[in-house]
Structure formats: structure tokens, C-alpha cells
Amino acid sequence: MASSDRNRATRVAEAIKVELADLVAREIKDPRVRAGLVTVSHVEVNRDLTVADVGVSILAGEPAAVMKGLEAAAGFLRGPLARRLRLRVAPDLRFHHDRSQELASRLRDIVREDEERRAIADPPSESAADAGAESEPGAASEPGAESEPGAESEPGAASEPGAESEGDRE
């Protein structure tokens, strides 16, 4: 029985999330909420479905004002939500500001800045790029051709398997 309660609570929470997102976007006329770009990020309900904890992400606008507008509209939202979901008892909506998307964005910026700093501090070495060009199949090196500094080869070393060095021909 406990398992079916949890499954129902999960299904109702997901349905509340979808319907609340639509209600917030279309039905709330409060200018504090309209000024902000609000998304419903998650919903958790208790076992008897009387309380819904609603996490909202505020991507634009003043978060404190938007939260006050949502709290003021919570009573208004309960009726249409219960009718849309055909719930006998409308859950009490408790909104909180979910900052996970803000933190994820900030973390992405920090990682990007760190990667840029590392790229400036440790530029790719030219010898690694040249080594890739020299090891291409069919590329023969001419004797006496100038090589890049740091790309020295050992005397008597063959550039390709089975190739003879100048000293081996005599």
C-alpha cells in the first residue's frame, strides 16, 4: 500500500508541476510575477496530497518581488489546479525560490573562465603539432631539410618501419 501511495504522490506532483507552469504563465495577472520569467522546476507533495512544495526558478525580474507575488497568488491557484487535476482537496501551495539553475550557470562560467586561463597559460606546443604533421603516411623527409627546433631525430633512426638510414646503405 505504501508503494502505491508513493507512486500516486509522484504522479500527482508531476501533474501539479505541468498545470502550475501553465497557470503561472497564463492566469496570474500580478505585475510582480509577470515581470519575472518564472519556471516551475520541481514539486514535492506529502503523502496525503494536502501540501505541495513548489520550487520555482526566476530567470528575470526581482526574485523577492516575484516570490511575494506567487505567495499572494497561491490561494487563487489552488481552485483551478484542483479542478484541472480533479482533486477532491486542493493542496496548499508553498513556493520557494529554486536557485539550482543559477548555481549551475555560475559553475559553468567558472569552469569556462578556468579553461580560458589554462589555455592562455599553457598554449599548445608547436612541436606536438609538427610531430603530427611529420607522422603522416606517405610524407618522406628529405635529407638536409631543415627541421623545427625541438623536433630532432636520433642519428640512424628510420622515419618509417623498414626504411633504411643513409649509414645502412653503404
Using the 8-state DSSP alphabet, how is residue 126 labeled? H
Reading phi first (left if > 0) and then psi (alpha if -120 to 50, else beta), residue 150 is in: left
Query: In tens digits, what is the pLDDT along the chain, a chain of 170 residues?
Result: 466 667 888 999 999 999 999 999 888 888 888 887 888 999 999 988 899 999 999 888 888 999 999 999 999 999 999 999 998 888 999 999 998 888 888 999 999 999 999 888 887 665 555 555 555 555 444 555 455 555 444 555 454 555 554 555 44
- For residues 117 and 18, what is the distance between their CA atoms, to the nearest angstrom? 42
Surface-to-core class of residue 52, CB atoms within 10 Å of its CB (0-12 exposed, 13-18 middle, 19+ buried): buried
- Nearest 10 degrees: CA dihedral of 110, 113, 114, 118? 180
